[in-house]
């Protein structure tokens, strides 16, 4: 289908925002800024629909980038770091189509026009030269409707993912919370008392002269770190290795399948369980590794306790509080006192977590497919193939 092409400045009036973000008083009107969420203002500048385009780089420090452009309608205020594009002839060009178009092409058409040293920006004159390609209005409206439906599907998928993610903490509190059936009779034990009987069942990785960064190699025995504990699940990466000869000295730091891994440096308190198919590897000083006595505690229960038991957070609050650069150590982990339900109940929890994880894996695959389809739609749309 034949497309027209014209500079943005010919198609739109470009109106610079007047509201300073930090000094604008909050109020009843939306305030469009460079951020994803709207702020508020006590007065409005525009009463129309517009595409709101940031004039400054999203990252600064000599790097040009642009995260998003906004569509806004009605009465709203506009931050003075943005410009509003107001279509001159709405029988020719749809504002919603223009928003989609500029969001898709911004890295190719707008970002290269940014200039400056520390704070890169684009002038309104340069922005007005950005070329816009567009089909007839009826086709624009069809495209917008199709992409809006795709966005709605993505939102529904994201909502489903959040609901599934909330199942595990809800399940833990249902089974092991203060009001759980039989909980009044449960004993307590320290992590040290639940660990395997052999020496070194609770250990942190090598320190100082035991292992230096200069000793890492590309191939060898993998070394696990905090980047292997992502969103409180184990993620396999082989970013660091040590030679086989060095591993002979490091065997006391080996990580076994079903070990509980707790981050004790950086963002402390993240937790995961080493998978059953874990290859031979060791851990760094950033992790505390716990090998459990499986007749007393199930790894997945201990994992759940670290993440969802309020008493654990209370015991560690004065030490780490889950914030950046406050560390724990193996002594802190050993002394944590946990409530210990019957092992059969712990195993039941582990089984149900596995079922939820299987659902999450399916959702993740579905999300990737949906996202790939949506990105394909965007490419085909703005290449005139949809």
Q: 88 with 198, same domain? A: no
CATH number, domain at 49?
3.90.220.20
pLDDT at position 319 over 60: no
Q: For residues 348 and 340, give the distance between their C-alpha atoms in angstroms, rounded to a whole number.
A: 14
pTM of the model: 0.72
pLDDT at position 379 over 90: no
Q: 380 with 336, same domain? A: no
Q: 329 with 224, same domain? A: yes
Higher pLDDT, 105 or 2: 105
Q: For residues 100 and 225, give the distance between their C-alpha atoms in angstroms, rounded to a whole number.
A: 41
Which of 164, 140, 101, 114 has its CA nearest to residue 356?
A: 164
pLDDT per residue as tens digits for the range 332-366: 999 999 999 999 999 999 999 999 999 988 988 88
pLDDT of residue 77: 97
Average pLDDT over residues 246-259: 92
pLDDT per residue as tens digits for the range 35-86: 999 999 999 999 999 999 999 998 867 788 999 999 999 999 999 999 999 9
> What residues make up the domain containing 23?
4-134
SS3 136: coil
Q: 163 with 223, same domain? A: no
Q: 332 with 352, same domain? A: no
Q: 280 with 330, same domain? A: yes
Q: 209 with 243, same domain? A: yes
Q: 297 with 368, same domain? A: no
pLDDT of residue 205: 87
pLDDT of residue 318: 54
Q: 14 with 37, same domain? A: yes
pLDDT per residue as tens digits for the range 192-237: 999 999 888 999 988 766 777 778 888 899 999 999 998 899 999 8
Half-sphere exposure of 105 (CA within 13 A, CB side): 20
How many domains, the chain?
Answer: 3
Which of 308, 313, 320 has its CA nearest to residue 268?
A: 320
């Amino acid at each position: 289908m034949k497309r027209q092409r014209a500079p943005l400045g010919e198609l739109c009036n470009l109106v610079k925002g007047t509201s300073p973000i930090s000094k604008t008083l909050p109020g009843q009107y939306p305030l469009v800024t460079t951020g994803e969420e709207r702020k508020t203002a006590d007065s409005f500048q525009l009463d129309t629909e517009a595409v709101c385009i940031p004039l400054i780089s999203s990252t600064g420090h000599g790097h040009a980038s642009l995260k998003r452009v906004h569509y806004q309608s009605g009465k709203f205020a506009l931050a003075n770091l943005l410009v509003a594009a107001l279509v001159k002839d709405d029988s020719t060009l749809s504002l919603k189509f223009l928003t989609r178009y500029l969001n898709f092409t911004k890295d190719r058409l707008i970002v290269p026009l940014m200039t400056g040293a520390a704070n890169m920006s684009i002038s309104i004159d340069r922005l007005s030269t950005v070329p816009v390609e567009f089909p007839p209005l009826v086709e624009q409206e069809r495209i917008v409707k199709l992409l809006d439906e795709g966005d709605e599907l993505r939102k529904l998928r994201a909502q489903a993912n959040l609901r599934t993610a909330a199942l595990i903490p809800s399940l833990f509190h249902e089974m092991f919370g203060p009001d759980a059936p039989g909980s009044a009779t449960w004993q307590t034990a320290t992590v040290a008392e639940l660990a395997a009987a052999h020496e070194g069942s609770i250990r942190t990785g090598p320190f100082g002269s035991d292992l230096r960064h200069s000793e890492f190699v590309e191939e060898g025995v993998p070394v696990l770190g905090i980047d292997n504990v992502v969103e409180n699940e184990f993620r396999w990466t082989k970013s660091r290795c040590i030679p086989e000869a060095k591993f002979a000295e490091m065997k006391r730091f080996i990580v076994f399948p079903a070990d509980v891994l707790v981050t004790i440096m950086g963002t402390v308190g993240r937790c995961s369980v080493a998978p059953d198919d874990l290859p031979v590897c060791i851990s760094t000083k950033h992790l505390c590794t716990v090998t459990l006595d499986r007749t007393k505690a199930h790894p997945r229960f201990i994992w759940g306790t670290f993440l969802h038991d309020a008493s654990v957070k209370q015991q560690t609050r004065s030490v780490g509080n889950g914030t950046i650069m406050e560390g724990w150590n193996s002594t802190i982990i050993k002394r944590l006192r946990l409530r210990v339900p019957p092992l059969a109940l712990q195993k039941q929890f582990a089984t149900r977590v596995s079922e939820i994880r299987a659902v999450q894996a399916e959702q993740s695959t579905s999300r990737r497919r949906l996202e790939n389809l949506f990105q394909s739609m965007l490419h085909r749309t703005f290449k005139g193939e949809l």
